Structure 1
Amino acid sequence: MTHQHASRIVIRRTRGDIPTPVVGHDRRWALIRTLLHDTTLPTATRLAGLLLRLYAQPVSRTARLRPDQVTRTGDTVHLAHGPQPSALPGPLAELVVTLAERRHGHGTLGRTPDHPWLIPGRDAGQPISASALPLALNQLGIRARPARNTTLIELTAELPPSVVARLLGLNINSAERWSTEAAGQATYAIDLARRPLRQ
């Protein structure tokens, strides 16, 4: 355009990170049950999938969790993945405790409990690669982006944006955008349900 070799080009802005989710409610909860109860799956994969599906936590953030983000008060296990630690339900709490107690790196022989990561990677002193967890989740039919979008829409449909922001560690503006998206999804579903059936 500067050199007069092309006419004016218009590139539409995208809406950011709020595409329509492609994961149905029933499918989401079926996968959550699998992740909670299938002990043949790797513990790290189960944890990443559950934090994604229950708390909309990006897989890259799960990969960099540290043991000091896990605390236990009596029988309750908390995970600090946002500004306010979340009390974890029983099976998920067990997964987190298992990782915290049995973690060891691949880069050294034997157990090395002094490294700084909840899920250590292959290189000594490094967390698991952020690309390794999505690959493992893909094999279970879990695509990280649609799964996170679906979780965010379901949570913001049920809870005020301020609560979602505090619970998930989201910016309040982002939580409000997701709340608006959830309201739009609900309106569309109601309109669809009211349409007369075609003969």
Structure 2
Amino acid sequence: MKVSRRAALSEDERLDALGRLLTDTEIPMRLRVAGVIVLLYAQPVSRIVRLSIDDVIRDGETVLLRLGEPASPVPDPVAALLLEHIANRDNMNTATNSASRRLFPGRRAGQPAGPDHLSALLNEVGVPTAAARGAAIRQQLLELPAPVVADALGYHDKTTSRLRNETGGTWSRYTPGDHAKSPTGRVPQGTSEVGSPPVPRA
């Protein structure tokens, strides 16, 4: 998975966009959820539209999103939004789509939403997908070893290693071990509600 060379959002811009998606009920639910997945987990829209509701895992009170291995924890406010979206997905009223398990069903039976169309809509609500994704992956690499980020978010390890070097991350030396618990649930600086989850594989 390649990460665009387009300039990433600043961390303040990323957190501002994240806060807006979590609180602005005027923004359509599917755009709020898709945008949050980009901003937290650095996922490309082409991959987001392929997610199914089976990729959202409930383990007691915990909600996980399967993007890589292990599945990434979903912070509470995001989990609530994600579960509400699943219960009220768009394009589910037609007979052909009534049993769809797509997280973002398209208008055609069995097909997901179109990635280009969804990306354009996200740009319209203030989430430039390439820049948002770049900001999310770089923030993860400042806090976690590149191999952990690659596994959790579905990125190629060469991609995360290169980006880590570009961002000046401190994880240039890394001892394998149980680092899987840090990927989500952290509350990013500057926000009291949103946890910063692990990053996907690209």
2:44 to 58, 81, 85: 58
Name the TM-score, length of structure 1 as normaliser. Answer: 0.77
Equivalent position of 1:162 in the other structure = 147
Equivalent position of 2:64 in the other structure = 78
Shift of 1:100: 2.2
2:76 to 62, 85, 90: 90
Partners of 2:71 and 2:142 in 1: how far apart? Answer: 22
In structure 1, runs of 5+ residues without a counterpart are 1-15, 185-199
1:148 to 129, 133, 155: 133
Say which one has the larger Rg.
Answer: 1
Name the TM-score, length of structure 2 as normaliser. Answer: 0.76
Q: Which amino acid in 1 is paired with 2:25?
A: T
Counterpart contact for 1:18–1:178, Cα < 8 Å: no
Structure 1 or 2: more helix by fraction: 1
The higher-RCO structure (CA 8 Å, 6+ apart) is: 2
Partners of 1:78 and 1:134 in 2: how far apart? Answer: 24
Partners of 2:110 and 2:12 in 1: how far apart? Answer: 39
1:171 to 149, 156, 176: 156
1:102 aligns with 2:107: no
Counterpart contact for 1:81–1:168, Cα < 8 Å: yes
Provide Cα deviations, 1:90-129, integer angstroms capped at 9, x if missing partner.
12111221222223526825971x2131111111221111
RMSD: 2.1
Equivalent position of 1:69 in the other structure = 55
Counterpart contact for 2:38–2:129, Cα < 8 Å: yes
In structure 2, runs of 5+ residues without a counterpart are 170-202
Partners of 2:6 and 2:115 in 1: how far apart? Answer: 24
Give the ranges of 4+ consecutive aligned residues of structure 1 lying more than 4 Å apart after TM superposition: none
> 1:108 is paired with a residue of what secondary structure?
coil
Shift of 1:21: 2.4
2:105 to 115, 120, 145: 120
1:134 to 115, 119, 124: 119
